[in-house]
């Protein structure tokens, strides 16, 4: 089945640094989403992307839908301690009221104050 | 708070048993999805319901089944439980309407432990 390759698997950075993570797929998607998950909680939607080439921001977060529709990246600027968590990319092909997400394995972010 | 509720929060049971996980979607959302999250497999899609009807199936075992009721809440039934079924089970909901077709909102999950 479809698989997403998310990298890096983990990052350990200093507070204030910028962070970049990405996802690639062997097949195309018409929707890319980025989620953050804290321990013991459900994933929380950060950004949704619907058009190839689209660049969308949510506060200090910026994500882009790759032009080939096979990749996406997420940037976090000026990281703070509460950014700690696991970030997941997810791809989706919606059609006919069907739509399930294919998730990457996640990027675990640690921020040192 | 996503607006999606799941019960119970934790469930501990024995091999061979059957359990039911419950999910209430966000108000107005017609579609419910079930996902399984384990350490080795990550987040895996199990099944989707839309307005009471099954719409898509993923890697769901035959021992597992789900349904969506007229009030749109959903239940995931897991039977003949095995040790490997221990995982976090998430429910998500979406409107599948308007411009935000892909946005799924997740509940807090049910942690199932099979002993």
Full 3-state SS string of A23-42:
EEECCCCCEEEEEEECCCCC
Is the CB of A106 less than 8 angstroms away from the CB of B42? yes
Exposure on the CB side of residue B114, measured as CA atoms within 13 A:
17
The yes-or-no verdict on residue A93 having pLDDT over 90 is: no
Question: What distance in Å separates the CA atoms of residue A52 and residue B4, rounded to the nearest whole number?
Answer: 30
With CA atoms as reference, the chain A residue closest to B111 would be: A40
pLDDT at residue B74, as a whole number: 98
Q: Token digits for A12? A: 């350990």
With CA atoms as reference, the chain B residue closest to A6 would be: B42
Tell me which residue in A43, A50, A100 faces B56 most closely, judged by beta carbons.
A100
Q: Nearest CA to B22 among B7, B3, B1?
A: B7
Among positive and negative, which fits the CA dihedral B93, B38, A105, A99?
negative
Mean pLDDT of the region B89-107:
81
Mean pLDDT of the region A3-12:
93
Pick from A16-20, A44-48, A75-79, B96-100: least confident: B96-100
The yes-or-no verdict on residue B7 having pLDDT over 90 is: yes
Q: Which residue do the tokens 């929380």 mark?
A: A44
B95 vs B51 pLDDT, higher one: B51
Torsion (CA) A74, A42, B47, B51 in degrees, nearest 10: -100
């Amino acid at each position: 089945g479809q698989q997403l390759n998310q990298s890096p698997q983990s990052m350990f950075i200093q507070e204030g640094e910028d962070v970049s993570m990405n996802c690639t797929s062997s097949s195309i998607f018409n929707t890319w989403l980025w989620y953050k998950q804290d321990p013991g909680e459900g994933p929380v939607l950060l950004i949704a992307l619907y058009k190839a080439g689209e660049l969308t921001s949510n506060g200090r977060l910026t994500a882009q839908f790759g032009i080939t529709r096979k990749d996406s990246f997420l940037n976090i600027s000026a990281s703070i301690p509460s950014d700690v968590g696991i970030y997941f990319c997810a791809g989706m092909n919606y059609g006919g009221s069907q739509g399930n997400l294919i998730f990457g394995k996640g990027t675990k972010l640690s921020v040192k104050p | 708070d996503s607006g999606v509720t799941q019960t119970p929060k934790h469930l501990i049971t024995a091999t061979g048993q059957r359990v039911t996980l419950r999910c209430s979607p966000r108000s107005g959302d017609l579609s419910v999805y079930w996902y399984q999250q384990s350490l080795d497999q990550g987040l895996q899609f199990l099944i989707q319901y839309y307005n009471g009807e099954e719409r898509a199936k993923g890697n769901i075992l035959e021992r597992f089944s789900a349904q969506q009721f007229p009030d749109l809440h959903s239940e995931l039934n897991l039977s003949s439980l095995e040790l490997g079924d221990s995982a976090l089970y998430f429910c998500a909901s979406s409107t599948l309407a308007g411009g935000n077709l892909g946005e799924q909102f997740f509940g807090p999950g049910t942690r199932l432990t099979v002993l």
